[in-house]
Structure 1
Amino acid sequence: MLSSDPLAGVRTRRIVALALDLVLVSILATVIWIALLILTLGLSLFLLPPLYPLIAFFYNGLTVSGRKMATPGMRALGLEMRMHEDGARVPFINAAAHALFFYLSWFFPPIFLVSLVDPEKRCLHDMLAGVTVVRRV
């Protein structure tokens, strides 16, 4: 179990980091959507709606499993994600699963209240993916 220092202020920082990351993913998805729309002369219009979740999945998976262990929003707020059991770097599959579980959690928002009762401030999607978000040391 982690001490309280690496967990101080994590919830608030995660909310702000999420807002930053949603803006970045939205910009990235819009640019890619417009580029694909132009390149295919509008023929890809019906294939593009699932683009946002696909970009969000890879955005989280690649950035969290990368060498900085955080999305750009998390890095801006001094957070990083680690494996819960041993504090190791998060593999791509866990980071991508974390994103998937997070976006599925939006269908039932009370799930986010789990972090209020968990002593390690972990959300349910963190527990399912086996990760912990801590302040960068």
Structure 2
Amino acid sequence: MSTIEPNALYDRDPLEHMALFEGVRTKRIFAFLIDVVAIAILTFLAGIAVFFLGIFTLGLGWLAYAFLWQGVAILYSAFTLGGPYSATPGMRAFGVELRLFDGSRPTPLIAIAHVVVFWVSVTMVTPLILLVSLFSDKKRLLHDIIVGGVVVNSAALSRPY
């Protein structure tokens, strides 16, 4: 029995190894919900810190409130999706991770691009852009295609075929 090497994943037909993509769409939805809650909690905590910063800076620090949610979401993605597990905590809870076409893990900069393209596409084109995954061969979304990545089941990467 052989196992699939991560960097050989993307040269193969996805229909040949369906275990890589089984249930990825559903897992991503629930992972997103967990991540939104985590970002909301972190934003609340950062908001408390900004409040005290504003007091110490005589109100100047309160300007950070304008970009607090976005800043927390970008840092969250950079450190989690761009980290050693290639997955946010929500993605890890559901056993999926992001890999690039060459099989490598995304860097923090690619993770930031991934999240920024996601939010820009969803807000400017409407959430209907998420329907792209219904027509994609590897259940990829538009922002996955743009950054050159694919979300796969973590356990299937080392599963023998």
Question: Which of 89, 103, 118 is the aligned partner of 2:136?
Answer: 118
Question: Which residue matches 1:47?
Answer: 64
Identity %: 38
Contact 2:53–2:62 (Cα < 8 Å) also in 1: no
SS in 2 for 1:106: helix
| TM-score normalised by the chain length of structure 1 | 0.93
1:102 aligns with 2:115: no
Greater helix share, 1 or 2?
A: 2
The one-letter amino acid of 2:34's match is L
Contact 1:7–1:134 (Cα < 8 Å) also in 2: yes
Aligned residues between the structures: 136
1:58 aligns with 2:75: yes
Quote the Cα distance in structure 2 between the aligned partners of 1:62 and 1:89.
Answer: 13
Deviation at 1:47, TM superposition (A): 2.8
Deviation at 1:17, TM superposition (A): 0.3
The one-letter amino acid of 1:47's match is A
Structure 2: gaps (5+ residues): 1-11, 156-161
Deviation at 1:45, TM superposition (A): 2.4
The one-letter amino acid of 1:117's match is F
RMSD, matched Cα: 1.3
Question: Which residue matches 1:68?
Answer: 85
1:79 aligns with 2:96: yes
| TM-score normalised by the chain length of structure 2 | 0.80
